[in-house]
């Protein structure tokens, strides 16, 4: 997505497309390893020295409220963020700390997991372990 597409996505969701929000959203879209707010801050402050940690938190808050970003509470010590808001699972690697996405093979499977009569708003399954990049003989 280029900047004008990002601007229209944010506008369509009813939030003002500020430079900070666009930068944070773009970072999340291009870094699918589910960065923390601090990682996003440290990456963006190089390009935008006026950004602060508060700027990043506020932008994330607005993007979450607009339904463009979700929190991933898989790591005990820090919150991670994700620009993929459709149902999917997360695998947390204890070695490298990265969070990987995996898809559900069918929407029917998600429906089966949800208790009968409950209304699901968001689907997620958490695995923890060691990723293939860290696992070696």
Sites of contact with Zn ion (CB under 5 A): 82, 84, 93, 95-96, 101, 131, 134
Nearer to Zn ion, 11 or 67 (CB): 67
Nearer to Zn ion, 87 or 101 (CB): 101
Nearer to Zn ion, 61 or 129 (CB): 129
Could you tell me the smallest distance in angstroms from the CB atom of residue 43 to Zn ion? 18
Of 85, 91, 75, 88, the residue nearest 130 (C-alpha): 91
Q: What angle (nearest 5°) sits at the alpha carbon of residue 58, between those of residues 10 and 84?
A: 50
Could you tell me the smallest distance in angstroms from the CB atom of residue 80 to Zn ion? 8
The DSSP secondary-structure symbol of 107 reads H
User: Which residue in this structure is represented by tokens 């060691």?
Assistant: 130
């Amino acid at each position: 997505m280029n900047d004008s597409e990002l601007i229209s996505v944010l506008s369509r969701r009813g939030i003002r497309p500020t430079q900070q929000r666009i930068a944070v959203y773009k970072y999340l879209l291009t870094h699918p390893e589910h960065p923390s707010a601090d990682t996003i801050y440290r990456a963006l402050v190089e390009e935008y020295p006026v950004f602060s940690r508060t700027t990043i938190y506020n932008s994330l808050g607005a993007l979450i409220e607009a339904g463009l970003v979700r929190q991933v509470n898989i790591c005990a010590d820090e919150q991670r963020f994700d620009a993929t808001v459709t149902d999917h699972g997360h695998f947390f690697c204890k070695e490298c700390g990265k969070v990987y996405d995996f898809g559900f093979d069918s929407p029917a499977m998600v429906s089966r997991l949800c208790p009968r009569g409950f209304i699901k708003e968001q689907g997620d399954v958490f695995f923890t372990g060691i990723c293939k990049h860290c696992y070696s003989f």
